[in-house]
Structure 1
Amino acid sequence: MRIKCLFWGLLRIFSLLFLVCSCSTGEVAAQILGTSSAAPVFLACRAVSGTEIDFEFSLPVKVVSLSFSPSIAVESIDEGSIVRVNFAAGLEPGERLTADLLAEDENGNTINVLTPLRTRNERLPRLLINELRTEYSKPKAEFVEFKILEAGNLGAAQVFIAGNSKKPLVYEFSPVEVAAGDYVVLHLRSTEETNRDEYGSNLSESGGVDSAPNARDFWVFGSEKLLRKTDAVYVLNQDDEVIDAVLLAENPASFWSKDYLANAADFLYQKGAWKTAGEIMPEPKDAVITGKTTLTRSICRDETAADTDSPDNWYITVTGGAT
């Protein structure tokens, strides 16, 4: 009898060992604990309106805690695989926040998310890239000038320069009110200690040789070269739509010398932001030819002509004609 009991005991032990050895780690944990070991994964965060921000997860979750910096009062939270946070009052357009969220799935797995984000800007104005300088000689820096076509707020507008291939996003605007007819200059490197971003009402706040009293000056602080004679410059909104763009080429070559320039040209073509005579991706010959631009001869838009998203809108100024 004892031998029979010992036999069945050993058989149960061997069966359990076989079960453990034939399962993955996750499956073993599920069987032993009676729960799934798969934890939720944070996928994305975006502001969907002036009063709503979504956090997307791979699994449904409930929120354990949530805070924002700067502090914002939350009205309600809708839970699930998409956590929607609702605010009673509209948020400032394009304001930069940091969210600290602790969430838990139905099995008790938790995830802590600490992420920066921008509030939704539904008042981003229409604008045009108006002038560019690709050359540098201290204290005169490269710049991109924008002309504002309607009243609005520039918060969360993103400026990209394709030639800066490792980090093409060179500037993201914080909230600032602008009016139709305003000019905004983004200086692509800082050159003097008095350089300031002009987010307030004083358009003479920034010092420096290139600061303009009749335009808002903003600066990419640092000394790295960001804009070249062969390049692509474009502005995106929060839905990755192109607000305006310009394609530059020093020479009308047969094709782009770098893959990232070809990719930028194709991106702008697919978005309808740069046009060609045929239904093909723009080549250097379809860009604004910049070979004659210098420190004092900028690349300038003809402000009297309708925008055609093509080289027809652009010319190189005479010597000393940079504005």
Structure 2
Amino acid sequence: MKNILNMIVHTIVCTLAGVFFILLCMYHSSCHITPEGIKLVSDGITSVKIKEYSIDEGLIQVWFSKKVEPESVFAVESDETCTSIENFLNHEKKMDVDCSASNDNSLRFTVRDKTQIGKTYDLFACVKDTSGNTLSFTIPFYGENRNFPVMVISEVSDFYSRKDGICEYIELYAVTSGNLFGLELISASDDRHFALPCAEVRKGDYVIVHLRSESESCISETGDNLSLSRTKGSVNGVRDIWIDNDQSVLNSTAEILMLKNKARSVVTDCVMYCRQDYALENEKWKSEKLCEASEICLDYGLWHGEGKPSDAVYSMKRKTTSYISRTNIKYLNGNSGVKNSRDNWIGTAKSKTTPGGPNMW
């Protein structure tokens, strides 16, 4: 009798363990964490997992937990109504996408149709593993910019006065023509990133990037009309870009600014500046973020010297305000190959700043 009871208990335990195992597998296969940006739209249970993905100049590559093959792949313009498989499959305007498999359990997707720079799209894909399990997902991406201009930082002001309606700005100069979408400015002291909008610029244009926008009249001029912005600090006839920000930016004591092509993960220009007393008192940058930024600028060959505060541009000897201007703009001649260093910059007075125009000293 005792043996029979033991067998019954053993059978019940094994059965419960099996049920628990099945439920555990169902939970982990249907609720797994996916890389940021990917949205699962599968209706059923799948054992396929997405490990990671990358987007590089129109090529979207996705790595899976096992080998898969595509069942359905296309792209559409982003639409808030597309929240299910049916919405995507019934979309009226599908864009053709080429798909190829690699040996590392990844699929490579390339949109055949031309996309508009800066517009948001969704890649839809349904994939199947060797056991017949399927996974449907979407990945958002932007219309590709293949015409980046060569831009350089030409003037910086960290002056801010709410009373006078004046804010910090970074002036850019277009060495060549192109579209700004995919470029971003970085202030290293606080690791703030300021994305530039989709806007065409011509060789010789100036762009004023205002780092705060505190009123409705702060209108970014992304089209042909360069007289839309009427806020104080705007320059009529020059492209004004307003960053959606109301916080303090730019460190007036020590700062490194970088211009980065985010789409290609390349830093293309920089400027290092600090107060003269800061450089005299500190052989190295006091913050880790500034040290990292100086190394990046040196690695890309963008700044002459050892990247120390003593190699930086000295701002004017004021307590809180610094204005610096680049002096070699007219020598660039279609490329940014002219050496950039403290010798090409000067700390200047507020009366000598020229946002939107040639620098004067």
User: Per the shorter chain, which TM-score range?
Assistant: 0.7 to 0.9
Q: Cα offset for 1:186?
A: 0.7
Evaluate the alpha carbon distance shift between residue 133 and residue 107 of structure 1 in structure 2; reply closer, same or farther with a 3 A threshold.
Answer: farther
Matches within 5 A, 1:4-23: none
Whichever residue aligns with residue 173 of structure 1, its letter is P
2:273 matches 1:248: yes
SS of equivalent residue, structure 1 residue 263? helix
Evaluate the alpha carbon distance shift between residue 67 and residue 185 of structure 1 in structure 2; reply closer, same or farther with a 3 A threshold.
Answer: same
Whichever residue aligns with residue 70 of structure 1, its letter is S
CA distance in 1, matches of 2:78, 2:25: 40
Question: For the Cα contact (< 8 Å) 2:157–2:323, is it kept in 1?
Answer: yes
Q: Cα offset for 1:144?
A: 0.6
Whichever residue aligns with residue 284 of structure 1, its letter is P
Q: Which residue of 2 aligns with 1:70?
A: 78
Q: Which residue of 2 aligns with 1:317?
A: 348
Please, which of 27, 34, 52 is the counterpart of residue 43 of structure 1? 52
Q: Cα offset for 1:295?
A: 8.4
Question: For the Cα contact (< 8 Å) 2:98–2:112, is it kept in 1?
Answer: no
Evaluate the alpha carbon distance shift between residue 192 and residue 29 of structure 1 in structure 2; reply closer, same or farther with a 3 A threshold.
Answer: closer
- Residue by residue, what CA displacement relative to the aligned partner does 1:148-197 show, whole Å, maximum 9, x if unpaired? 011111111122111223xx2222422x2111001111100013321111
Evaluate the alpha carbon distance shift between residue 288 and residue 96 of structure 1 in structure 2; reply closer, same or farther with a 3 A threshold.
Answer: farther
Give the count of matched residue pairs: 298
Matches within 5 A, 1:261-300: 261-276=290-305, 282-292=307-317, 298-300=323-325
SS of equivalent residue, structure 1 residue 320? helix
CA distance in 1, matches of 2:135, 2:210: 41
Evaluate the alpha carbon distance shift between residue 63 and residue 233 of structure 1 in structure 2; reply closer, same or farther with a 3 A threshold.
Answer: farther
Whichever residue aligns with residue 107 of structure 2, its letter is V
SS of equivalent residue, structure 1 residue 206? coil
Please, which of 225, 228, 239 is the counterpart of residue 216 of structure 1? 239
2:201 matches 1:178: yes
Q: Which residue of 2 aligns with 1:140?
A: 166
Q: Cα offset for 1:133?
A: 0.5
Question: For the Cα contact (< 8 Å) 1:211–1:217, is it kept in 2?
Answer: yes
Q: Cα offset for 1:58?
A: 4.4
CA distance in 1, matches of 2:319, 2:197: 28
Task: List runs of 5+ in structure 2 lacking aligned partners.
Answer: 27-45, 80-92, 333-337, 355-361
SS of equivalent residue, structure 1 residue 141? coil
CA distance in 2, matches of 1:178, 1:153: 6
Q: Cα offset for 1:241?
A: 1.1
Question: For the Cα contact (< 8 Å) 2:190–2:289, is it kept in 1?
Answer: no
Q: Which residue of 1 aligns with 2:154?
A: 130
Q: Which residue of 1 aligns with 2:86?
A: none
Whichever residue aligns with residue 218 of structure 1, its letter is I
Matches within 5 A, 1:23-172: 39-49=48-58, 52-61=59-68, 62-64=70-72, 67-70=75-78, 73-80=94-101, 81-99=105-123, 101-108=125-132, 111=135, 113-138=137-162, 139-165=165-191, 168-172=192-196
- The RMSD of aligned alpha carbons is 3.5
Question: For the Cα contact (< 8 Å) 2:76–2:95, is it kept in 1?
Answer: no
Question: For the Cα contact (< 8 Å) 1:39–1:105, is it kept in 2?
Answer: yes
- Taking structure 1 as the reference length, the TM-score comes to 0.78
- Residue by residue, what CA displacement relative to the aligned partner does 1:110-150 show, whole Å, maximum 9, x if unpaired? 55545443333221011110101112112110001100011
Task: List runs of 5+ in structure 1 lacking aligned partners.
Answer: 1-5, 31-36
